[in-house]
Every structure is written in C-alpha cells, then in structure tokens.
C-alpha cells in the first residue's frame, strides 16, 4: 500500500481548502469546478502528544515527528470514468494513493456553486463511488477477457486461472452494480491475486464532512447521513470546517492557534483528527527513539518485527541486528525517567522475532 492519502470529492466541496490547511501549503482554490488540474502533494507532521511528553521527560537537541503524505486530487464528476471533466487523469492519480479521504459537502451556502446545484451528501457519495467502480470495472473486464482467452489455448494456464477467474466474475457483478471491490473481496488470497490490478475501490476510505461554522461543535442532518453510509461500509468519519481550519492555518504561533480554537469551542483542530485517521487507516504505527541528541517518531507498518524497524533508521541496523532494548512510552510516563523505568524492570531485551508495538521506545544493538 502506498504511504499517502488522496483527497477526493466533487468539485467545490472544499478539497483544496482542506488540503491547504492540512499542509499549510497553498493550493489553488476558486469558486468554479476543476481549478485543480494536477495533484498537489504535501508532507505533514502527525500530531502525537506522546512525542511531546517524551520530549518533556527526555529533553533533546532536536525533535522529529512522524509524517504522512497528502495528495490533493482534482474534483471528479459524473462520467469521469468515461473521461468527463478530465476524469482519466484524476482517476490515474487516485490509483497511486494508499487511502482515500472523500470530502463531502455538508453545509448550505448559496454563494458557493455546487456542481449538481443541490446539497445532497448521499447523492454526492454515490456519484463518486459509481465512477470509481466503473473505472475498476473496465480494468477487471480487460483482465477477465485476457485470462479467459489464455485458458482456452493453454491447459496449464487454465489451472492457474481456475482460482482467479471466478473472483473476477464476482467483481464484475459487484462493480457493475456500483459496489466497491472491498465489499466483496475480503479473503487474503483473493486480495493478493488481484493486487497488481491496483483497484481504486479496494482502497480504504475516510469520509470527511466539510461543515459550516454553526455545525463544527455538533451534528447536522448532512453529517448524520454521511455517518450512516460510513457505518455500513465500516469507514471512519472526520468532521471538519474547512473555513475555520484555513483561518487556523494562517495564524503564526501555536499560542494564537490555541486561543482561536478556544474561541470557537474546539479542543483541537479537526485536521489533526484527519491526519491521525489517515495514518491509522494506512496501517501505520509509531515507535520512538529518545536521547539527548534527538527525540524522534519513526513510522512502521503494524506487524513489523524488530529488525525491519531497525532498518527504517538505517539499513546497517537491520543487516547487523543483534537485539533491541525496548520499553513502552507509557512506562516512561508512569515512572518519569529511563533510569526509573529500568529500576522497575520494565526495560526488556527483545530479539529478531519481536513484533514492535505502537508507542515502543527502542534502542537497537547491531554489529556490521
């Protein structure tokens, strides 16, 4: 899976505004469709209060947070799978991301044009999902036709395709009905067999409800509609007011941002929730290294073992891995210092088979 999150949706739902606020990097935003042609890319820090607490207990010369990449992809419209609205270019960009943040307009404002001239979150979601499904259907049909032809002339190939062809048949039916591939392909072996198709609708989705200032602290009927759809799909929902978030992003200091959040009744930026949600949905987790030189958050895939995580720091660490000194950041927060963590017997020596846990603080021993 690619380690990035693509922001998609219909034109004028607030994608570029949200992207600019997330990355604090200006993306062109205007009150007309297709103002974004080529995807904008931004690298953002993952908000993690654990790193802040580690820094307070193990003060370093340098602090490095974990990061995740966001891609602002231009608005899709009905007919995108047939090339409408520069659809082919946009769909190609979506194939390259690991998770989709689907921005849905959940506010009324007659001054901001809606591509369909009505506010209908369920209809908007359906439009995007159908176009993505139709794009995948074309991919699946090409592969299906190819395998069927090969099976007719090659008996060995027929045996190899005996597993894949029925899966493709199920996919054709689902995608033709506008259903996502992930709704019918859940078996691990089937997922592996279809990996090289890079199906868009196999990617996990986060629904981002873009609301107005009046709804930022609560629910409105549009958000409730999106939550209902997301619940059926097993998807996460993040509520954001793009206008407020862009105003926060424009402030210079953390103190000003904190005061602004208090003034509008928020504990933290909604974008922080989006960043963490994207990171989590990508299957990413964090381990830490801490010392006087640097406190750092390192990104790893859930399930990775100690040598692979050592290799994230440097390939020599993985090649010459001996063992890892490990304790969890919660132990540090409980006891207040590494010395007391050791005295409490919470520091462990782990070998090559250790599965690294989110929040571990690690020191690797290696020899090359």
Instruction: For residue 67, list its beta bridge partners.
Output: 45
Do the beta carbons of residue 76 and residue 103 sit within 8 Å?
Answer: no
Residue 234 has pLDDT above 50, yes or no: yes
Q: For 89-114, what is the mean pLDDT?
A: 79
Query: What CATH superfamily classification does 4-281 receive?
Result: P-loop containing nucleotide triphosphate hydrolases (3.40.50.300)
6 phi and psi, to 5 degrees?
-95, 130
* Residue 12 burial (CB count, 10 A): 22
% pLDDT > 90, the chain: 46
Distance CA 115, CA 33 (A): 7
10 pLDDT band, cuts 50/70/90, is confident
User: For the chain, first and last CA: distance in Å?
Assistant: 31
What's the CA gap between 25 and 42, in Å, rounded? 7
Domain ranges across the chain: 4-281, 303-366
Q: Is residue 31's pLDDT more than 80?
A: no
- 132: tokens are 């993505």
Q: Is 304 helix (H, G, I), strand (E, B) or coil?
A: coil
For the chain, percent of residues with pLDDT exceeding 70: 88
Alpha carbon distances (Å) from 228 to 101, 121, 232, 280:
17, 11, 7, 21
Average pLDDT of span 187-192: 89
- Kindly report, residue by residue over 286-315, the tens digit of the pLDDT: 999 999 999 999 999 999 999 999 999 999
CB 10 within 8 Å of CB 74: no
The DSSP 8-state label assigned to residue 242 in this structure reads H
Residue 72: its pLDDT value, please?
82
**Span 216-231, pLDDT tens digits:** 876 799 999 999 999 9
Query: Where residue 317 falls among pLDDT bands split at 50, 70, 90?
Result: very high
**Tokens 């045996």 belong to which residue?**
159
The whole-number pLDDT of residue 329 equals 97
CATH number of 303-366: 3.10.20.30
3-state secondary structure of 75: coil
Closest CA to 309 of 291, 292, 297, 327: 297
Length of the chain: 368
pLDDT reported for residue 25:
47
Confidence tier at 38 by pLDDT (50, 70, 90): very low
Instruction: Give pTM, 2 decimals.
Output: 0.83
Q: Report whether 92 contacts 1 (CB < 8 A).
A: no
Q: Are 237 and 230 in contact (CB under 8 A)?
A: yes
pLDDT of residue 304: 97
Query: Any residues with CB less than 8 A from the CB of 305 and at least 6 apart, and which?
Result: 352, 353, 354, 355, 356
């Amino acid at each position: 899976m690619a380690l990035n999150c693509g922001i998609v949706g219909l034109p004028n739902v607030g994608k570029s505004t949200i992207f600019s606020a997330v990355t604090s990097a200006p993306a062109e935003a205007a009150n007309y469709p297709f103002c974004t042609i080529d995807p904008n890319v931004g690298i953002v820090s993952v908000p993690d209060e654990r790193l802040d607490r580690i820094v307070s207990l193990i003060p370093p010369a340098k602090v490095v947070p974990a990061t995740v990449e966001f891609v602002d992809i231009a608005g899709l419209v009905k007919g995108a799978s047939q090339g409408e609205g520069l659809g082919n270019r946009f769909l190609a960009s979506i194939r390259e991301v690991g998770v989709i943040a689907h921005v849905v307009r959940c506010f009324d404002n007659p001054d901001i044009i809606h591509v369909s001239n009505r506010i209908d979150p369920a209809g908007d979601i359906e439009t995007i999902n159908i176009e993505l499904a139709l794009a995948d259907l074309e991919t699946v049909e090409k592969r299906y036709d190819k395998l069927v032809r090969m099976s007719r002339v090659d008996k060995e190939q027929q045996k190899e395709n005996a597993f894949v062809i029925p899966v493709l048949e199920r996919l054709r039916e689902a995608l033709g009905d506008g259903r996502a591939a992930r709704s019918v392909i859940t078996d691990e072996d089937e997922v592996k067999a279809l990996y090289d198709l890079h199906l868009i609708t196999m990617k996990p989705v986060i629904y981002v409800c873009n609301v107005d200032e009046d709804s930022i602290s609560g629910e409105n009927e549009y958000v409730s509609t999106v939550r209902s759809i997301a619940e059926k799909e097993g998807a996460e929902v993040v509520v954001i007011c793009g206008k407020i978030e862009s105003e926060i992003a424009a402030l210079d200091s953390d103190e000003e941002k904190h005061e602004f959040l208090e003034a509008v009744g928020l504990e933290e930026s909604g974008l922080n929730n989006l960043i963490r949600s994207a990171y989590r949905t990508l299957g990413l987790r964090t381990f830490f290294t801490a010392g006087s030189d640097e406190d750092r958050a390192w990104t790893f895939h859930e399930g990775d073992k100690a040598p692979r995580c050592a290799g994230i720091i440097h390939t020599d660490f993985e090649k010459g891995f001996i063992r890892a000194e490990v304790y969890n950041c919660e132990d540090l927060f409980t006891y207040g210092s590494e010395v007391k963590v050791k005295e409490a017997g919470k520091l462990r020596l782990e070998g090559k088979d250790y599965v690294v846990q989110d929040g571990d603080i690690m020191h690797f021993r290696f020899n090359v």
